[in-house]
Amino acid sequence: MSSITPFTMPLHKIQLEGYGLILQPLKPGHEPGLAKAAADGELWNLVFTSVPAPGEERQYIDKALEEQAQGKALVFVIMDAKTKEIIGTSRYYNIVPECARLEIGYTWYAQSRQRTFVNTAAKYLMMFYAFESLKANVIAWRTDIINTRSQAAIERLGAKKDGIIRGDQLRRDGSIRDSVIYSMTKEEWLNEHKQRLKEKVSS
């Protein structure tokens, strides 16, 4: 592999827009929108999600912003561009600037927005920014081995399955989770998936 140019995560807050969505930096004040999105399907009951339970939205935001301030993450709420309604959230995390590598995760959507254009459009915006602006060399994803729906969504993006990390982390119920790891390189993005995904979200 050719030499890698380290990247620097932006210190300023960025907003990504397009394809019917706005990815706005997470901030205090987003609690009601997150609560409403999480209530659509009572997502906090899913053992493999990081969705805040009712009343835990401020704690969720504070923890995410603390990690962001430490340079460990860049966190977005995902909004419907027409209604400005918060419909989910996602973030860059596990950032390794010296390897120009980051992960996309902690993603969840209101149940009514799942299996729609939303995930592909949101991930396209995040992938485009990471590869084209940040000059990332690799984007990775990890998901619970029991979350087959998430695995299928990642595979539809074109990411390659790298393997399984056993005993990777704890689930919210205290059980130990194995994680499935996926990745996509800059070359794969440019040569295989960028145009395909653009056509998909533009149709």
CATH of the domain at 58: 3.40.630.30
What is the pLDDT at residue 3?
66
The answer as to whether 4 is a domain residue is: no
CB 10 within 8 Å of CB 105: no
Beta strands in the chain (DSSP E): 16-18, 21-25, 73-80, 86-96, 101-109, 138-144, 160-170, 176-185
The answer as to whether 8 is a domain residue is: no
The answer as to whether 10 is a domain residue is: no
Instruction: Return the DSSP state at 41.
Output: T
The answer as to whether 5 is a domain residue is: no
Residues paired with 181 in a beta bridge? 142, 163
The answer as to whether 78 is a domain residue is: yes
Q: How far apart are the first and last CA of the chain?
A: 35
CB 109 within 8 Å of CB 34: no
Whole-number Cα distances in Å, 123 to 19, 62, 63, 120, 188: 11, 24, 23, 5, 15
Range of the domain at 108: 16-202
Per the document, the length of the chain is 203
CA-to-CA distance for 42 and 157, rounded, in angstroms? Answer: 26
Burial of residue 149 (CB within 10 Å: 0-12, 13-18, 19+) is exposed
The total number of structural domains in the chain stands at 1
What is the pLDDT at residue 5?
73
The answer as to whether 114 is a domain residue is: yes
CB 157 within 8 Å of CB 120: yes
What is the pLDDT at residue 1?
46
Global confidence as pTM: 0.93
CA-to-CA distance for 86 and 158, rounded, in angstroms? Answer: 26
Over the chain (203 residues), what is each successive 10-residue block's mean pLDDT?
A: 66 86 97 98 91 96 93 94 97 93 96 94 97 95 95 96 96 93 98 96 89
The answer as to whether 6 is a domain residue is: no
